[in-house]
Amino acid sequence: MTITARELSLNVLQSLERGSEHSDTLLHRQLQHSALNRVNRALATALVNGVLRYRFQLDFIISHFYHHKLEKAAPVLRNILRLGAYQLLFLDKVPDWAAVNECVKLARKYKGDRMSKLMNGVLRKITLESVTLEAWLHDKGVTEQLALRYSHPEWLVERWLTAFGLEKTEAIMKYNNQFPLFGFRINRLKTSPEQLFGEVDAAVEYEPCLLDNFFVSKDFHSFEAAVADGRLTVQNPTQGEAVQLLNPQPNEIVLDLCAAPGGKATFMAELMQNSGQIIAVDRYDQKLAALDAHAKALGISIITTVTADARSYQPDVQPDAILLDAPCSGTGVLGRRAELRWKVSREMLLELQTLQAALLDHAATLLNDGGRLLYATCSIEPEENHRQIEAFLQRHPEFSATPAGGKLTLPGDHHGCDGGFSQLLLKKRG
């Protein structure tokens, strides 16, 4: 029996509850092995991402119609209810009867007739008229209101209100719930903006960014061929900005710690005009193999990949510059990583801060006097960013932070730009 878009979506949501793989990886694998047409593939993608983004709000709404404790329901039943509620409230092109009937079928298949009747009863009560979200939120505090309205964990909302204020916090959450744009970097080793756009259908929509040779678009399909042959790389402008801050030069030796998936390493190679040496270090062979293949497609030959732990790796040469794109909470890319908002935790933040400090301390020992160290994250949390830098400078007086060399970008600060942080540090000459 051919799997439906809704059952495929349910399988992805269930797999996420049981494992640690990313939603886009799971979704891609499921779609590869399905016979769904383009319309149903788009529906499955919308359902997975929509349920993951709005999970907190959906559970709040469902709880007004489900007369038991939702958190005690079987995970598969919760996810079917979420799929149904999301279709009823957010997808105006899906008829209500279809949303209800398909979810009833799933409930019957996975939990039997009794649960299918319960599913039918709950979902038939959920309509745009019966859900009065703003009235339900009226007596709640500001933090809880925002958390439910934009479906983010309360503890994160509270942090952002303290760090950024109400207006910016609301803007971050709105951005995180939008369909993310694709960011593209033009490979100047193979083409030019004039040549690339001259070969693209005039009807294709795209917008330039603050960075030269970067643009954003809703349309991936029209640029897929250019990505495949190395004229383009998928990269958000915020990531590119960190590389430009480091400003790698031709003939330099650059060490890229925590290099996978390699977007920053390949951009550095392009800026260096494929002249010099980049040592790309990561712990995972498979990811480095993908980096090697991508570099080859881009026409890059100066990247050497090394499988090693970045906390202890000792290069044979002293680099002129080091890029440390540190493991982080990823709170700047929650719009792109839909499930991440439910996986990040206070405990994870503490663990990551310790790891980031260890990586910074080791990087400091590897750099030439007079060299440059660029620290970058895709987080917007102060402890992972400027506070991490402040603590590093106290431990390492031989380094200084360049006044114009640090930048925090919040999600949506610039059109199509994810959140992230970068700081350029200079090692004093002996």
Catalytically active residues are 378
Residue spans of alpha helices (H) in 91-233: 96-111, 113-125, 133-137, 142-150, 154-176, 193-198, 224-228
Cα radius of gyration (the chain): 24
Contacts of residue 143, defined as CB under 8 A and 6 or more positions apart, other chains included, come to 154, 157, 158, 161
What is the C-alpha separation between 353 and 72, in angstroms, rounded?
34
What residues does 325 pair with on adjacent strands? 376
Contacts of residue 193, defined as CB under 8 A and 6 or more positions apart, other chains included, come to 186, 213
User: What element of type H or E holds 408?
Assistant: strand 399-409
What is the C-alpha separation between 301 and 276, in angstroms, rounded?
10
**Lookup result for tokens 């939603």:** 23
CA angle 381, 59, 23 (to 5 degrees): 55
3-state secondary structure of 233: strand
What is the C-alpha separation between 51 and 246, in angstroms, rounded?
38
Contacts of residue 49, defined as CB under 8 A and 6 or more positions apart, other chains included, come to 23, 338
**Closest listed residue to residue 234, CA positions, set 247, 245, 221:** 221
Alpha carbon distances (Å) from 212 to 182, 222, 244, 392: 16, 21, 10, 32
Residue spans of alpha helices (H) in 19-141: 23-32, 38-53, 55-63, 75-90, 96-111, 113-125, 133-137
Q: Are 213 and 247 in contact, with CB atoms under 8 Å apart?
A: no
Q: Are 367 and 318 in contact, with CB atoms under 8 Å apart?
A: yes
**Closest listed residue to residue 323, CA positions, set 410, 262, 387, 385:** 262
Q: Are 111 and 92 in contact, with CB atoms under 8 Å apart?
A: no
Contacts of residue 19, defined as CB under 8 A and 6 or more positions apart, other chains included, come to none
What is the C-alpha separation between 351 and 384, in angstroms, rounded?
11
